[in-house]
Amino acid sequence: MESTVQNLRRVTLFTDLSDEALTRVANVAFRRTYEADETIIFEGDPCRAAYFIAEGRVRVYRLSPGGREQVLARLGSGQTFNTVPPFQPQGVNHATVEALTPVALYVIVREDFRRLVGECAELALVILQDFADRLDHLTNLVEDLSLHTVRGRLARFLLEHASAAPGGSGVGIQATRHWTQEEIAAHLGTVRDMVGRTLRAFADAGLVRVERQRIILLDREGLEAEVQH
């Protein structure tokens, strides 16, 4: 049991829980392992549990009716998934989750999770804080999706994530963190193909230049105009 407590302590959601509260979580959590490529839960299936990643990486995605896949997130050790549906009366899994590597999870079945949150105010508070953060993020995303096209959202993303000041270094550019097109798509609530297509459209319009491992912003005013779309 001690190792379960120690492992659960590494889950971000549980980091600040008291030993007593965490022991209560450990009493109902059980460890389960999956091979790479194995599907852990399917979108639309009745929710049976909440999951906490001890080791490995998973991919969370949804499929459109046309079969188009939207990757919502890639999660690793310390992160959680399927913590929302247990609290819905007819809760179903909101997305499919697949193991990218061998994965070890701590699983808390739906009924235990609900009961625990009802009995332990400390746990209820951290769950509420997590949900509040998600709600905040989703509210911003809904506003973005309602008011802006992918062109507008991508233009804003590029402006917000490029280096703060143009042309500051000796070679005329300043480095920022690295992004894959899929990560950008997940951030914007769209799919990778749309990001690639829109980047090419921006390049054709002279707003950016896409080079090896670099998206170079060329026209600030043009990109700011795109944000309004």
Partner 1 sequence: MKLLMEDWALPEIDLTLCNRCGTCVARCPTGAVEMGSDGPFIARPADCTYCTECESMCSQEAITCTYEIVWGMDS
Q: For residue 208, what is the DSSP state?
A: E
SS3 75: strand
Select the span of 41-49, 75-83, 121-129, 170-178 touching partner 1 (CB under 8 A).
170-178
SS3 32: strand
9, 48, 59, 187: residue in contact with partner 1 (rule CB under 8 A): 59
Q: Which of 118, 134, 39 is nearest to 79 (CA)?
A: 134
Asked if 209 touches partner 1 (CB under 8 A), the answer is yes
| CB of 44 or CB of 166, closer to partner 1 | 166
Site for partner 1 in 119-148 (CB under 8 A): none
Select the span of 1-9, 41-49, 85-93, 178-186 touching partner 1 (CB under 8 A).
178-186
Select the span of 22-30, 87-95, 141-149, 205-213 touching partner 1 (CB under 8 A).
205-213
Give Cα separations from 204 to 184, 194, 197, 207, 224 (angstroms). 20, 15, 11, 8, 17
Asked if 101 touches partner 1 (CB under 8 A), the answer is yes
| CB of 92 or CB of 216, closer to partner 1 | 216
Match 């299936």 to its residue by tokens.
Answer: 45
What region does 67 belong to: left with phi over 0, alpha with psi -120 to 50, or beta?
A: left
33, 39, 88, 163: residue in contact with partner 1 (rule CB under 8 A): 163
First to last CA, the chain: 55
The residues that touch partner 1, with contacts defined as CB under 8 A, are 36-37, 57, 59, 74, 100-101, 158, 161-163, 165-167, 172-182, 192, 196, 209-210, 212-220
